[in-house]
Chain A
Amino acid sequence: MRDVSVIGVGQTPVGEHWDRSLRDLAVEAIAEARRDAGVDRVDALYVGNMLSGELAGQENVATLVADAAGLLPKEALKIEAACASGGAVLRAAYLAVACGAHDYVLAVGVEKMTDVLTDGVTAALALAADADYEAAHGITFAALNAILMRRYMHEHRASHEDFAPFSINAHRNAALNPCAMYRQPITLEDFIRSPIVADPINILDSAGISDGAAALLVCPASEARRARRPPVRITGSACATDTLGLAERTDPLVWQAVADSARLACGQAKLKPKDIDLFELHDAFTIVSVLSLEACGFADRGSALKLAAEGRIALEGDIPICTLGGLKGRGHPVGASGTYQLVETALQLRGEAGPAQVKGASIGMAQSVGGSGSVAITHILQV
């Protein structure tokens, strides 16, 4: 296996792009990643996407993007792992380069969600759950996470307010990110008064529906010096799975796939969680941040809320999370979110995160989660 580096990154602002299609967004992110690298060569294109068929009426989306971006006749494939598609697409690119099949591979995550009304998007997102035994019963994604959150509150005697620091931190950091969708800081009062989606989960617990694309160009580490910008090495890449149905786990509050993928990635990089300078986690709901921090070993079971309350997840804390807003603040274009996390991690390690820069960051972890913790993909990036 060859060592692999990220040599170029690009992203569109996340938002409601009424006048731009899936292909427009993907093309912009790809062009920016190629410009950033200053390298023309592309051997293959992998497209991370979850819902193009359901929300844009378009499958065969990798060929569509390759065509629109002027990359024909190169290999182009769609990679799908629900909301973890963005992590999965970098993993596919990493594997292709590591094994020597290709040298220069583009990984782009793209999602176009705002053409469809909320009830349609809610139904589409539920496709990541068990179709026969969760979605068909009207159990939305927010509801699955709400069930977890209430149980967590019961087992650990927590209140809903205790989850507020995650949302407040995400919005505070998003305000520093020009590509973020929700750039207004929020207060505890805002969090408490936010309308309920599926109780106890409210709007400010939940990452918003949005459009966007983000891309990374990877190549063998031995050739990364050709790039214009400092290369970022991929020192860990791991995927793990758990039951599709949330109820089919021994303990639904233990996210084993998240734990396994983080442990495997850390093992590859020969690191422990305490060595990580920043963690882009999958904060689709505040409860997911809590369960991920606990599963990955940053907090003991039942103690992630304390970690947040003590400010340790902030930019100046010992384990900064969602440093450029996370899914909550930057926005959550589902199949693209993983690539945004990775682009943001690379920017942090290059020292190009602007006012959101984590000082001295040299090791970053990015983790995408699909379904209710049923698939998790963790990458470790280093400079």
Chain B
Amino acid sequence: MELPRYHRLRGPYYRLEGRACPGCSRRFVPPRSVCPTCKSGGLRPFAFCGRATLYSWSHVLQPARGFASMAPYTVGMVRLEEGPLVSAQLADADGVELAVGMPLEMVTRKIRDADEHGYIVYGYKFRPLLMATRPRP
């Protein structure tokens, strides 16, 4: 990934920073400039808490260029506590029996092989919520 692009993405990638709509209170990550629901502009920065549940997932056996050393890896779509769905890699999922609806939390991890410039790109992934932080039944 090109350095200026990576720099531009540091808010969402490291801290899951998105936007909130002042008109209808919808929240977005990736960040948007215009709310697709109420068409308001002037969306404000909004930091998501990082807790989520699993919507669906897949184990990728045929990776794209740049991800060979990580294959097979798991990707998924997760439902953030604040509402939106996000696509991301799942971390620490080896040997874990995944299930729709299981609780997850965000972690910041290396997300691809170093590219030809040698940059290591870090960003959000989601892992099964640790037992220690899981609410008691």
Contact = CB atoms under 8 A, between A and B. Distances in A.
B60 A143 contact: yes
B62 A198 contact: yes
Contact of B77 (A123, A140, A142, A246): A246
Size range of the chain B interface in the assembly:
35 or more
B5 interface: yes
A138 B111 contact: yes
Given A196-B61, A247-B85, A138 B66 contact: yes
Contact of A144 (B55, B85, B87): B87
Nearest to A129: B87
A99 interface: no
B73 interface: yes
A138 B63 CA distance: 7
Given A138-B75, A246-B77, A248-B85, A146 B100 contact: no
Interface string B63-94: 11111101001011100000011111100000
Interface string B26-40: 001010000010000
A204 to B, nearest CB: 14
A118 B28 CA distance: 34
A201 interface: yes
Nearest to A125: B64
Given A132-B5, A138-B73, A151-B55, A247 B64 contact: no
A146 B77 CA distance: 11
A134 B87 contact: yes
B1 A245 contact: no
B61 A197 contact: yes
A119 B64 contact: yes
Contacts of B73: 138
B64 A248 contact: no
Q: Count chain A CB atoms within 10 A of each CB in B66, B85, B87, B123 and give the residue with the most.
A: B87
A154 interface: yes
Nearest to A135: B64
A245 B85 CA distance: 10
A123 B11 CA distance: 25
A120 B62 contact: no
Interface residues of A, number: 39
A42 interface: no
A142 B62 CA distance: 9
Contact of B100 (A122, A148, A154): A154
A140 B64 contact: yes
A188 interface: no
Contact of A147 (B12, B62, B64, B77): B77
Interface string B1-22: 1000100010010000000000
A147 B76 contact: yes
Interface in A150-199: 150-151, 154, 195-199
Interface in A195-209: 195-201
B127 interface: no
Contact of A137 (B59, B62, B75): B75
Interface in B81-137: 84-89, 100, 111-112, 121, 123
A122 B65 contact: yes
Given A119-B65, A122-B65, A140-B60, A252 B85 contact: yes
What 6 pairs between A and B have smallest CB-CB spacing? A146-B58, A151-B56, A247-B85, A138-B67, A123-B64, A123-B65
Interface of A: 118-120, 122-123, 126, 130, 132-140, 142-144, 146-148, 150-151, 154, 195-201, 243, 245-249, 252
14 contacts: A119-B68, A120-B65, A126-B64, A135-B64, A138-B89, A140-B63, A144-B87, A147-B87, A148-B56, A151-B55, A198-B62, A199-B58, A243-B36, A248-B28
Given A123-B65, A139-B89, A197-B61, 12 more contacts: A126-B64, A138-B70, A138-B73, A138-B111, A142-B62, A146-B58, A198-B60, A198-B62, A199-B58, A243-B36, A247-B77, A247-B84
